[in-house]
Structure 1
Amino acid sequence: MSHFKKLENMYLGANFNKEIYQSTEIRVEEEFAEIKLTIEPKYFHALGAIHGSVYFKLLDDAAFFAVNSIVKDVFVLTTNFNINLIRPANKGVITAVGRVKFKSKNLFIAESILQNEEGKEIAFGIGHFAKSKVALTEEIGYK
């Protein structure tokens, strides 16, 4: 099975995603990841739109998997991530797209954008990632 497919399985098999984000899809390619989420009311804050934590998770995950697409031996870690919220979303499918912007031996920078069904950007972020000492193995869902 390909590295990209194993990363996709790792994402979909993560406890948090299985419990909270059951309606997600992921696609990983070289230096790229795309995650789709169908909006449900359980993600809303008191004003009836998606809570910022959902924006953060999707943006971070898309950037993370874009980076881990080119790191094939170990799990990467988010060391810093900044987000900017542009507009609320409360229906349909939202899509986070992550792309690698910089890579060196131990430091990676990736950006991600979050769009609604109409293609309007609703948030964006940029993160720094580093290699961990945790090998990509079946024990962590890489299968």
Structure 2
Amino acid sequence: MSNSEHFRKLERMSAAEPMNGTIPASMKVGDGTAEVVVQVRPEFHHCARAVHGAVYFKALDDAAYFAASSAIEDMLLVTVSFTVYFTRPVSQGEMKARGRLVHQSRRLLVAEAELLDSAGRIVARGSGTFMESRTPLSPQIGYC
């Protein structure tokens, strides 16, 4: 399988995940990279009318996760740990997370992500550690 075919399958897997019904996002996967775009909706707001941290986390985790997943063509990864640093609130527009794979060993992968607002300002950063699960990448989990 070519890298680009693997990347498109990962994008389709992301689009098919049930959580995207709650927080819709588009995904673009490349070689050690991934980009997630979320259009801010009022239902994403907390009581102060800014986007809830859960939406930040999902965008950052997905960007880092799929950047790491771009390097593994046979097994589903799982998130072992993820740290988020919030730096600025967002109330409207688009949020774009850009992830990149920064380290890969025999058992673990480390990826980082930045989340930007519509003006291109960094509003959060995150880093995660991922490892292979026992679940193979297959059409049953949307990898097709």
1:33-52 equivalence runs, <5 A? 33-52=34-53
**Aligned residue identity for 1:76:** L
1:21 is displaced (CA, Å) by 2.2
* One of 2, 5, 12 as aligned partner of 2:15: 12
**Aligned residue identity for 2:106:** K
SS at match of 2:133: strand
Extract structure 1 runs of 4+ deviating beyond 2 A: none
Count of residues in correspondence between the two structures: 141
Which position in structure 2 is the counterpart of 1:121?
A: 122
Q: CA RMSD in A?
A: 0.9
Counterpart CA distance in 1 for 2:87 and 2:10 is 29
CA shift digits 1:54-81 (9 cap, x unpaired): 1111100100000000100000010000
Q: TM-score, normalised by structure 1?
A: 0.96
Which position in structure 1 is the counterpart of 2:68?
A: 67
1:1-143 equivalence runs, <5 A? 2-17=5-20, 19-22=21-24, 24-143=25-144
1:16 is displaced (CA, Å) by 1.3
Give 5+ residue unaligned stretches, structure 2: none
**Aligned residue identity for 1:21:** I
Tell whether the 8 Å contact from 2:23 to 2:55 is kept in structure 1 after alignment: no
Counterpart CA distance in 2 for 1:51 and 1:15 is 19
Q: TM-score, normalised by structure 2?
A: 0.96
Kindly, what percent of the aligned residue pairs are identical? 36
SS at match of 2:35: strand
Counterpart CA distance in 1 for 2:91 and 2:141 is 33
SS at match of 2:84: strand
